[in-house]
Amino acid sequence: MYSSPEFARNVTMAEFVRYVLWEGKHRAVVDHHWQPQYDICKPCHINYSYIGYFRTMQDDAKDVLRDIAAAPSIEFPSEDYDNRGSNSTKHLELFLNVSVSDLRRLLDFYRNDYKVFGFRVPDIIRRRLGEE
């Protein structure tokens, strides 16, 4: 159904969300690019020493390097990965064309990620769901 190369051209956010939801429901293994992090990392089964976040990658990496007493010559790449010029509001606006029912199903699909990793549903999505 969704494996055609033609399906991959000019996909809207609403279509992509429906695909992720379909894959999550019908496939035993979801593509790792949109698989819930909770399922990949198994945080309730593995005692991690660190959990880092993309938005704080520079500081998280410094903390790890300090805590493992890494040689001063070892440093995290100096590129600014935390602020790569991305306008997240612009990207989140793509979800405004996703149906409320699909947004709710998508949030349910990633429910454990939000709960365990402390993610917050973006305001633009909360407004779309009528939760503000």
**Is 52 contained in some domain?**
no
In a domain, 78, yes or no: no
Of the CA atoms within 13 Å of residue 34, those in its CB half-sphere come to 14
What range defines the domain where residue 105 resides? 5-47+87-128
Alpha-carbon torsion (60, 65, 69, 72), positive or negative: negative
Band the pLDDT of 126: cuts 50, 70, 90. Answer: very high
> Domain for residue 120, yes or no?
yes
67-98 pLDDT tens trace: 999 888 887 776 655 455 556 778 888 899 99
User: CA-CA distance, 23 to 35, in Å (whole number)?
Assistant: 10
- The verdict on residue 19 lying in a domain is yes
Mean pLDDT of the chain: 84
For residues 18 and 105, give the distance between their C-alpha atoms in angstroms, rounded to a whole number: 9
What is the model's pLDDT at position 69?
92
Q: Is residue 113 part of a domain?
A: yes
Query: So what's the pLDDT on residue 53?
Result: 82
Q: What are phi and psi for residue 126, nearest 5 degrees? A: -60, -40
The pLDDT, as a whole number, for residue 67 is 92
Q: CA 87 to CA 44: how far, in whole Å?
A: 33
pTM: predicted TM-score of the whole model, two decimal places = 0.73
pLDDT by residue (tens digit) across 15-54?
999 999 999 898 888 888 999 989 888 888 888 888 888 7
Q: Does 92 fall in a domain?
A: yes
Q: Say yes or no to pLDDT of 114 above 60.
A: yes
Pick the more confident residue, 2 or 110: 110
